[in-house]
Structure 1
Amino acid sequence: MVKWFSLGFWELVARVVLRNKVVMLLSIALITVLLTMQWKNVKFSFTEANLLPDDDPANIEYRDFIRKFGEEGNLIVIGTNGDSLFTPKVFAAWTKMMKTLSAQKEVDLVIDVNQLKTLSKNDSLQKFELREWTDGSRISDAAYLKQKKGELLTQLPFYQGLLFNPKTHTVRGAVYLNKKIVNTPIRKDFVLKILVPATKKFKQETGLEPHVSGMPYIRTMNTETIKSEIGFFILASLIVTSLLFYFFFRSFRATMVSVGIVIIGVMWSFGFLGLFGYEITVLTALVPALIIVIGIPNCIFLTNKYHQEYKIHGNKAKSLQRVTTKIGMATLMTNITTAIGFATFITSNNKLLIEFGNVTAVNIIALFFLSIIIIPIAYSYIPAPKERHISHLDRGSVKGFMDWILETVKHNRISVYVVAIGLLVISMLGMYQMRISGSLIEDMPKKTPFFRDITYFEKEYDGVMPVEILIDAKRPKGIMKLSVLSKMEEFEKEIAAVPGLSKPMSLVDVVKYAKQTYYNGNPQYFELPNSQEQSFILPYIKNAAQGRQNLMKSYVDSTGRYARITVFMRDDNGEHIPEIEAAIRREADQIFPKDHFDVHITGKSLVFQKGTGYLLDNLLSSLLFAFFLTALLVAFMFRSIKMIFVSLIPNMLPLLLTAGIMGFIGIPLKPSTILVFGIAFGLSVDDTIRFLAQYREELKRNNWRIRRSVYATFNDAGLSMFYTSIVLFFGFSVFMLSEFGGTVALGGLVSLTLLCGMLSNLMLLPSLVLTLNKGLANQQDFPQPSVAIGEGSDEEIDNLPGHKDLS
C-alpha cells in the first residue's frame, strides 16, 4: 500500500508535468523573473568574516574596545625605500601623492615624512605644539633632504616602527581613514578611485614601486578579487560539467537542456541571496558555481534513466513518464541528503556559515524541482535518442571497470575490508599531525600585488596584524598617573620580548616624546619623566590637544580611565596566538594587580583565531548532526538498523582519509578546510541512497538472491553513481584554479573526498551489504519501508489505480 501510494504520487507528478508543459514552463519563467528582480538587493560584504557568535566573550570584549577607541582597521600604510625617497625628484612626487590623499574627505589624518608633525615647546603658554618637521621651500635641496633623513633615523625614536625602519631605512606613510566609512562602500571608492591611481602616478613619475597595505586596502582588494572570480567559476564550472555531460551522452540537445537548467539555478541563487538579504562573502560567492556542479549530476541521473527506459521499449513518452515515476523519490531523497550536508552549518551559531548553509540548501532543493520538471518537458520536444546517444550504457571501458569492482566484491571482500582498515589506521596517524591555522591572510590570493605588499610590511615592520591590549585603571584619569605609566612601560618591555610581536605603541611613547621635546628634542631624553619632572612636564601634555592631530587621543580615552597598547604580529604566527596570548596574560597578571586594573587582550587577529577554534569545536557536532539526520532518513526509508550502519560507514571512511591526508601534507584546519567535511558527506551519501534504493528493488525482482541483486544494482545504479561522481570530482577541481588558498583547498579536498567516496560506495558498501544481509531469505527479513524510494517494476506501475500511459 505504501509503495502504491508513493509510486502513484510520482506518476501523478509525471502526468501533471507532461500534460501541462506550457503552464509549467511559464511558472518557472515567472519565478525566474521575480527572483531576478531581487538581484538589486545583492551586495558585497565590506567587513571581515566574524566566525564567533555575537555572545562569545571574545566578541564582547572586541566590541567594547571598538566603542572606546573606534574601528581599529582604519590605517593604510604606503612604504618605499628611504634612501631613494630622500632625493628631490622622488620626495616631490611622494609629497604630491600624500597631499592628494590628505585632501580627501574620507581621510582623517596623514602622517608621513613631508607632513610630519613634531612636538615643540611653547614656554609662554606652557604647552607643546605640533609643528612642521620639513621646510617646504627647501625640499628641492638634496643636502637638506639628506640632513632630514639623518634626523629621522637618529632623533625621532617616537616614530621608529611607525614611520621608518632604522635597520633597512625603509620609510612609510600612514593614512588614517574616517572610521565611519571603513565598513561602507565609500571605502572601496576611495581605495580604487583615489588611492590606487595616486600610487600608480607616483610609480610613473619615479620608477619606484610603492608598497601599500593596511586592513582597508587589503579588504577592498580582496573583495575585488572575489568579484572577478565569481564570473570565472560560473563559466569554468559550466564548461567542465557540460563537456563531461556531452562526453557521457554524446547529445548536444541533452547537454543544452542540462546547461539551461543550471543557468536558471544560478539565476535563482542570486535571487535567493537578494531575497534573504545576504551579502556576498568569500563563502556565498561560491554558491552559483556549486549550483552548477551539483545540478549537472541531477541531470545525469535523470537522463541516464531515460536512456535506460528508452532502450528497453523504444517509447519516448512512456520513458519520460517512467523516469519521474520510478526515480522521483530516490532523486528527491538524494537531493535532501545533499541539502542536509550544507544545512548542518546552520547549527554553527555563526552568521557567515548559517547564511551559506541556508542559501545552498534552498538552492539544492530548488534544483531538484527544476530538473524533475524541465527534463521531461524538454526531452518531449526534442527527437528520441539515437543509437549513439544510448551507446554509453554498454561502453566497454566503464563496463569493464564496474565488472572488476563486482568481481572484487564477490570474491575478495576480505581484501576490501583489510584495505579499508589499513586506510583507517593510516588516517588516524595523519589526523594526529593536523594543526590549526589562526592566520587572517593565509587564504588570500598569494599571487596578487596586494598580498606581496603584505609580506613586504611583515618583513620590514614585524607584521600588520594588530593585537590590542586594553588597560582599565578603574577610575577617571587613573591612566595618567606616573606610577601607572611606569607599569605600562614595564609591561611593554615584557611584550617586546615575546617572540613574534613588534614594538608596542601606546601613551607611554607620547609621554616619552613629550619629555624629549621638553629637553629641546634631545633623543637621550626619550624616556618617562621622573617624579620631579612630571610636575612641569605633565601640564604641557595636558594642554597639547590640537583637534584631530592630538597625539594622545589614539592611545587614551577622553576620561583618562582606559589606555590602549597596540602591538603588531606577523601573520605566520597566527597558529601561535594562544601561546602569545597566554604569555601576555602572565605578564599582565604580574604587573597589574587585578583589584586595581582590568586588562583585556583583543584585536582582529585574536578574534579570527578564536573563531577558527570555535569552528573546529563545532565541526564534530555538525558532522554528528549530519550523521544523525542521515540515519533518521535511512531509518525512515528502510526501517532497518543494519541499513543505517551500511549507509554511514562507507561515507565516514573518506572523511577520515581526507583528514589524515591533510595531516600528512600539512594542510591546516581553517574555516575553508573545515567546510570540506560537511559538503563532502552530503554529496557522497547520495550514491549510498541510490545504491540501497535500487538494491532493495532488485532483491524482490530476483527472489531475494543477494549476489544477483548486487550485480543488477551495478548494471543500473552503478553507472549513474560513476558518472555523477566523475562530474563532481572535476566540477570541484575547478575551484583549484582560484587565487584564494581557501578555495583551492576546498576544491581539492572535496574532490579527493568525493573520489574516495565513490570507490567506497562502489566497493565497501556492497561488501557490507553482502556481509550483513548474508542471512536474508525473504521479505520478512527486510521490513517494508516507510516510503517507497525504489523504482518499482513496470507491472506495479501499470497496475496503479488510475494509471494511464501518456504514450
Structure 2
Amino acid sequence: MWTRLAHFVIKNRLVLVIVLGLITATMGYLGRNVTMTYDFTKVVPESDPDMVYFEEFKQLFGEDGNILAIGIKDSSLYTPTNFLRFKYLSDELAKLEGVNNVLSIPRIQRLKKNTEERKFQLDPFFADIPQDQSTLDSLLALVMEQRFYTGQLINPENGATLILVAINKEVLNSPDRQKLIEDIKYLGDRFAESTQIDVHYAGLPFVRSIMAGKVKKELNFFLVLSVIVTGIILLVFFRSWDAVVFPMLIIGVVVVWVVGTLGIFGFKITMLTGLIPPIIVVIGIPNSIYLINKYHQEFERHGNKMKAISTVTRKIGMVTLITNFTTAIGFLVLATTDIIILKEFGIVAGLNILATFIVSFILIPAVFSWLPSPSKQQMKHLSFKPMDKVLTTFDYWIHNRRRWIYSVTIVVVAVSVYGVMQLKTVSYIVDDIPEDTDIMRDMGFFESNFSGVMPLEVVVDTGKKRGVIRLSNLQKVQQLETFLDSIPEISKPVSLVSFIKAARQAYYNNNPAYYQLPNSMDYNFILQYFRDQSDSSGLLKAFVDSTGQKMRITLKMADIGSVEMDKLIRGTIQPRIDSLFADTEVTATVTGTSPLFVKGNRYLVQNLQMSLILAFIIIAIVMGILFVNLRVVLISLIPNIIPLLITAGLMGYFNIALKPSTSLIFCIAFGIAVDDAIHFLAKYRQELFAHNFFVPIAISRSLKETGTSMMYTSIVLFFGFVIFAGSDFGGTVALGVLTSTTLLIAMFTNLLLLPSLLLTFDDGKRRKDAHPLIEQYDEDFYHETDDEEIDLKRLEVQKQE
C-alpha cells in the first residue's frame, strides 16, 4: 500500500501541493474572526449539581465575580485636596461605559429616618467636599460611626479604604472588558501620580484581564521564539537551509490550520489553545527530521534521488503516521473529559498533530523532488563524529554493561517513588503568577487589610415566602455571620441582616450603639418604615429574591489555596451551618466562584489522571496491533513510563504541586516519548528479518540508523519546550521545564534501557507467516536489499516548466 501511495504522492505532487494551498487559504479565512475568551472558569461541567446551583444563584442575585477593587492606605488621602481628588476619581469611574456602580467613601450614603413620611431616605455624606481639615475630619468621624461600612469599605484600625467597581456582566465576558480595565487603571494611575499615593488593584475582573493581555503577548512571543529555536537547531544538525525553510513551511501551514480549526468548531483562544501553535512547531519538526535524515541516508547509499524519496515515503510513512497518532492520543484523550477548556485543547491539538503528518507526507517528498540532489556538504551530518561516538558508547554499554544500566534505573526509580510520595495537590485562584509581580503584591495588600477579595457566597433558603423577614430566621443568620466574621481568612459578611441593622441604627438617629438586629419590641416599628419603600439603588434586590424566601450572604476571602479552602468550607463552615439550622426548615448552601474553583481543581486533576490512564491503554493497544507481541509491547512501555515517574518524583522533591497545569504534562509527554520507541522497534523488527533473527546485530544496526534521528528529535523537543520557561505564568513554565525534562529522560531510556531490555528478554524469533501492521512498508519487507527491487519506471514524472 505504501509503495503505491509513495508513487501517487510523487506523481501527483503538484496537484496535491495546490490542494494543500487551497485548504490552507480556506482555513485562514475560517479562522480570521477567532477571538480570545475572557472567561477562564469553564472547569466544572455545566451538568454538575454545584454548577447548576451556582447558575441559579446568578439568575437570582447576579454575578459574584464582577467586582474590581481599588485599594489605598495612606493618611494623606484624608486631606481636603487629596480627598477631593479621591471623589473625582470615584465619580469618573462611575461614568465609564460598562460600570454598573461605584462604592467608595466619597460616594457613600446613610439611611436617614423621615418621620413625616415614615420611611427611610438616603442621605449623601459628601455632597460637597469641605475645604478645611476640621470639617472633613468631622464628616469622616460620622462615616466611621456607620457600622455597615466599617470592615467593608474602610479598615477602622489603619484607615485603609477601597473603591469597589461593579462591572456589567455583558462587558465582563466580551473584548470590551480589556479596554474598560485599561480605562479604570488609567484613571487610578492618574490619581496616584497627582497625589503621590500608591494605588492597588485586585478582583477577578482585573486579574483575568491582566492575564488575558499577558496570554495574548506570550502567544506571539513563543510562536516566534519556537520557530527561531527549532530553525537554529535544524540548521546546526543538517547544515542546509533547505532542511530549515521547508520544515518551517510545513509548520506554518499547520499553524494556519490550527486557527481554522478553532473557527470551524467555534472555539475561542484560551490559555491552553493559545499554546497549540508553538507546541505544533515543536512537535511537528520531528516528522521532518526523520524524513530528511532517512532521505539523506538512502541517497548516500545509491545516489538516486527519486528512489530515495520513494523509499523514505514507504519506510518512514507508516511509522510516522503511527508516531503522530500516538502523539495525538496524548492530546485527544483530553477530549473525553467533561471540562470545556481541556476538551477544546485536546480536540484542536490532536486533530492538527494528525494534520501535521498529512502535510509533511505530501510536502517533504514533493519539495525535495523539485530541489537538486543533496550535496556532500548537506549530508555531512550523517557522519557527525560526536554523535557517532555517543551512539557507539551506548551500543557498548548495552552489550557489555546492561547490569549497570538496570542498577542505575532501579536506583533512580526507587528515589523517584519516594519523591512521588512527597507530591502535593494544590492550586490557587490567582495561580501561576510570580510572587514578585504587581498583581501578587496587590493581592497581599487586600489580604492583609481586608481579608482578601475572592468571592464567597452563602444562600439561605427559609423554605417559605417572606421568610427572610422573620426575626427568628434573621437571628439565626446573624449567628452564622458572627461565626464567619471570626474566621481570619474571611471578610465581614454583608446581607439583609446588615441592612436591617443599619436601618435600626438609622431609626435611632444613627447612633452606632443601635447597630443590631431589632428586638421584638421595636421590630414592627422599624418594618413600618420599609413599607412602600422603593429600592432605587437595587441593593435589596441583590440580596433577597423576589419572593422573600431566599437571601444571600456575601463575603470576600483570601486566596488560601485549594487544599486549605476545601478544609475551610467542608471542615469548618459547613458543619457550623448544619448545626445552626439542624432543627429548622432553613437551609444554607455555600456557593460562589471560590467553592466552584475548589471543585474545578479536583475535576481537572481527576480528569487528567483518567486521561493519562486512557492514553496508556490506547497506546498499549496500538503497540499491540503494530507488533502483535505482548512481550515487545511491555518492553516498549517500560522505558516511557519511567520518565513520567522520574518527573513526578522531581516535582515531589522540588515542591512543585500537582495541579491542572502540571498534570497536563504527563499525557502530552507520554504521547510524544513513545514515538522514539516505535521508530526504534520498527527498525529493530526489520533488522531481525534481515539478519536471521540475531538480536545483538539487530540492536546495533537499529541503534546506529535510528539513534541519530532519535537524538535530533529529542534535542529539538527539549529546546522547543524549554522556551516556555520564559513565561510569566507558572503553569506554562512548568509545562515547558517538566515536559522538556521528561522527553530528555525518555531519550536516554529509549536509547539505553529499551535496547537492553530487548537484548535480555527478546529471543528475536518472529513468524514469517505473521504480518503485523508495522511490517506494511512494502511487499519485500524481509529483504535488506528491497530498495534495489523498486520499479523505477513507476517513479517517472513529467518535468515541470
1:578 aligns with 2:566: yes
Query: Which residue matches 2:649?
Result: 660
Q: Which secondary structure state, in structure 2, belongs to the residue aligned with residue 552 of structure 1?
A: helix
- Alpha-carbon distance in 1 for matches of 2:136, 2:101: 23
Q: Residues 763 and 782 from structure 1, CA distance in 2 versus in 1: closer, same or farther, beyond 3 angstroms?
A: farther
| Structure 1 alignment gaps of length 5 or more | 1-8
- Alpha-carbon distance in 2 for matches of 1:426, 1:150: 64
Matches for 1:172-251 after TM superposition, within 5 Å:
172-192=162-182, 194-251=183-240
- Alpha-carbon distance in 1 for matches of 2:392, 2:156: 71
Query: Which residue matches 1:150?
Result: 141
1:702 aligns with 2:681: no
Query: Which residue matches 1:4?
Result: none
Q: Which secondary structure state, in structure 2, belongs to the residue aligned with residue 159 of structure 1?
A: coil
Query: Which residue matches 1:303?
Result: 292
Q: Which secondary structure state, in structure 1, belongs to the residue aligned with residue 31 of structure 2?
A: helix
1:165 corresponds to which of 155, 167, 177: 155
Query: Which residue matches 2:10?
Result: 18
1:490-547 alpha-carbon deviations (Å, 9 max, x no partner): 1122223335322222222111111111111121221111111211112224554431
Q: Which amino acid aligns with 1:202?
A: F
Give 1:27 shift.
1.0
- Alpha-carbon distance in 2 for matches of 1:263, 1:748: 25
Q: Residues 595 and 764 from structure 1, CA distance in 2 versus in 1: closer, same or farther, beyond 3 angstroms?
A: farther
- Alpha-carbon distance in 2 for matches of 1:262, 1:143: 70
Query: Which residue matches 1:104?
Result: 96
- Alpha-carbon distance in 2 for matches of 1:308, 1:594: 82
- Alpha-carbon distance in 2 for matches of 1:660, 1:307: 40
- Alpha-carbon distance in 1 for matches of 2:71, 2:135: 21
Give 1:262 shift.
0.9
1:785 aligns with 2:772: yes
1:464 aligns with 2:461: no
Give 1:173 shift.
1.0
- Whether the 8 Å CA contact 2:544–2:550 is kept in 1: the answer is yes
Most deviating of 576-585 and 242-251: 576-585
Give 1:360 shift.
0.3
Q: Which secondary structure state, in structure 2, belongs to the residue aligned with residue 114 of structure 1?
A: helix
1:565 aligns with 2:557: no
Over aligned residue pairs, what C-alpha RMSD do you find? 2.0
Q: Which amino acid aligns with 1:184?
A: S
Query: Which residue matches 1:772?
Result: 761
Q: Which amino acid aligns with 1:185?
A: P
Give 1:799 shift.
4.0
1:133 aligns with 2:114: no
Q: Which amino acid aligns with 1:282?
A: M
Q: Residues 442 and 468 from structure 1, CA distance in 2 versus in 1: closer, same or farther, beyond 3 angstroms?
A: same
1:150-198 alpha-carbon deviations (Å, 9 max, x no partner): 333x312211232111223111111112234322233333223x31322
Give 1:771 shift.
1.7
1:783-803 alpha-carbon deviations (Å, 9 max, x no partner): 431342568456435546897
1:328 aligns with 2:317: yes
Q: Residues 14 and 135 from structure 1, CA distance in 2 versus in 1: closer, same or farther, beyond 3 angstroms?
A: same
| Structure 2 alignment gaps of length 5 or more | none
Give 1:609 shift.
1.5
- Alpha-carbon distance in 1 for matches of 2:533, 2:550: 19
Give 1:748 shift.
1.0
Query: Which residue matches 1:376?
Result: 365
- Alpha-carbon distance in 2 for matches of 1:262, 1:459: 49
Give 1:781 shift.
8.8
Give 1:239 shift.
0.6
Give 1:203 shift.
2.6
- Whether the 8 Å CA contact 2:416–2:649 is kept in 1: the answer is yes
Give 1:91 shift.
1.9
Q: Residues 242 and 789 from structure 1, CA distance in 2 versus in 1: closer, same or farther, beyond 3 angstroms?
A: farther
How does the TM-score come out when normalised to structure 2? 0.95
Matches for 1:680-699 after TM superposition, within 5 Å:
680-699=669-688
Q: Which amino acid aligns with 1:26?
A: I
- Alpha-carbon distance in 1 for matches of 2:681, 2:706: 9
- Alpha-carbon distance in 1 for matches of 2:462, 2:530: 19
1:349-385 alpha-carbon deviations (Å, 9 max, x no partner): 2111111000001110111111111112222233322
- Alpha-carbon distance in 1 for matches of 2:436, 2:709: 39
Q: Which secondary structure state, in structure 1, belongs to the residue aligned with residue 460 of structure 2?
A: strand
- Whether the 8 Å CA contact 1:472–1:562 is kept in 2: the answer is yes
- Whether the 8 Å CA contact 2:435–2:441 is kept in 1: the answer is yes
1:762-797 alpha-carbon deviations (Å, 9 max, x no partner): 111111111221x33x43399431342568456435
Query: Which residue matches 1:5?
Result: none
- Alpha-carbon distance in 1 for matches of 2:555, 2:24: 51
- Alpha-carbon distance in 1 for matches of 2:631, 2:584: 61
Query: Which residue matches 1:41?
Result: 33
Q: Which amino acid aligns with 1:158?
A: F
Q: Which amino acid aligns with 1:365?
A: L
Q: Which secondary structure state, in structure 2, belongs to the residue aligned with residue 160 of structure 1?
A: coil
Matches for 1:334-413 after TM superposition, within 5 Å:
334-413=323-402
Most deviating of 238-247 and 558-567: 558-567
- Alpha-carbon distance in 1 for matches of 2:556, 2:41: 20
- Alpha-carbon distance in 2 for matches of 1:794, 1:18: 24
Q: Residues 389 and 446 from structure 1, CA distance in 2 versus in 1: closer, same or farther, beyond 3 angstroms?
A: farther
Q: Residues 685 and 436 from structure 1, CA distance in 2 versus in 1: closer, same or farther, beyond 3 angstroms?
A: same
Aligned-pair identity (%) = 37
Q: Residues 532 and 430 from structure 1, CA distance in 2 versus in 1: closer, same or farther, beyond 3 angstroms?
A: same
Q: Residues 172 and 595 from structure 1, CA distance in 2 versus in 1: closer, same or farther, beyond 3 angstroms?
A: closer
- Whether the 8 Å CA contact 2:612–2:666 is kept in 1: the answer is yes
Most deviating of 441-450 and 688-697: 441-450
Give 1:437 shift.
1.7
Q: Which amino acid aligns with 1:147?
A: S
- Whether the 8 Å CA contact 2:207–2:430 is kept in 1: the answer is no
Most deviating of 783-792 and 475-484: 783-792
- Alpha-carbon distance in 1 for matches of 2:9, 2:409: 45
- Whether the 8 Å CA contact 1:318–1:806 is kept in 2: the answer is no
1:255 aligns with 2:228: no
Most deviating of 279-288 and 664-673: 664-673
- Alpha-carbon distance in 1 for matches of 2:303, 2:788: 17
- Whether the 8 Å CA contact 1:261–1:370 is kept in 2: the answer is yes
Matches for 1:568-717 after TM superposition, within 5 Å:
568-582=556-570, 583-593=572-582, 596-717=585-706
Q: Residues 483 and 475 from structure 1, CA distance in 2 versus in 1: closer, same or farther, beyond 3 angstroms?
A: same
- Whether the 8 Å CA contact 2:290–2:316 is kept in 1: the answer is no
- Alpha-carbon distance in 1 for matches of 2:24, 2:99: 43
Q: Which amino acid aligns with 2:345?
A: F
- Whether the 8 Å CA contact 1:332–1:368 is kept in 2: the answer is yes
Q: Which secondary structure state, in structure 1, belongs to the residue aligned with residue 529 of structure 2?
A: helix
1:32 corresponds to which of 24, 27, 31: 24
Q: Which secondary structure state, in structure 2, belongs to the residue aligned with residue 16 of structure 1?
A: helix
Q: Which amino acid aligns with 1:552?
A: L
Q: Residues 471 and 410 from structure 1, CA distance in 2 versus in 1: closer, same or farther, beyond 3 angstroms?
A: same
Q: Residues 346 and 782 from structure 1, CA distance in 2 versus in 1: closer, same or farther, beyond 3 angstroms?
A: farther
- Alpha-carbon distance in 2 for matches of 1:67, 1:543: 25
- Whether the 8 Å CA contact 1:91–1:139 is kept in 2: the answer is no
Q: Which secondary structure state, in structure 2, belongs to the residue aligned with residue 553 of structure 1?
A: helix
Q: Which amino acid aligns with 1:784?
A: H
- Whether the 8 Å CA contact 1:557–1:563 is kept in 2: the answer is yes
Query: Which residue matches 1:427?
Result: 416
- Whether the 8 Å CA contact 2:314–2:777 is kept in 1: the answer is no
Q: Which secondary structure state, in structure 2, belongs to the residue aligned with residue 532 of structure 1?
A: coil
- Whether the 8 Å CA contact 1:514–1:541 is kept in 2: the answer is no
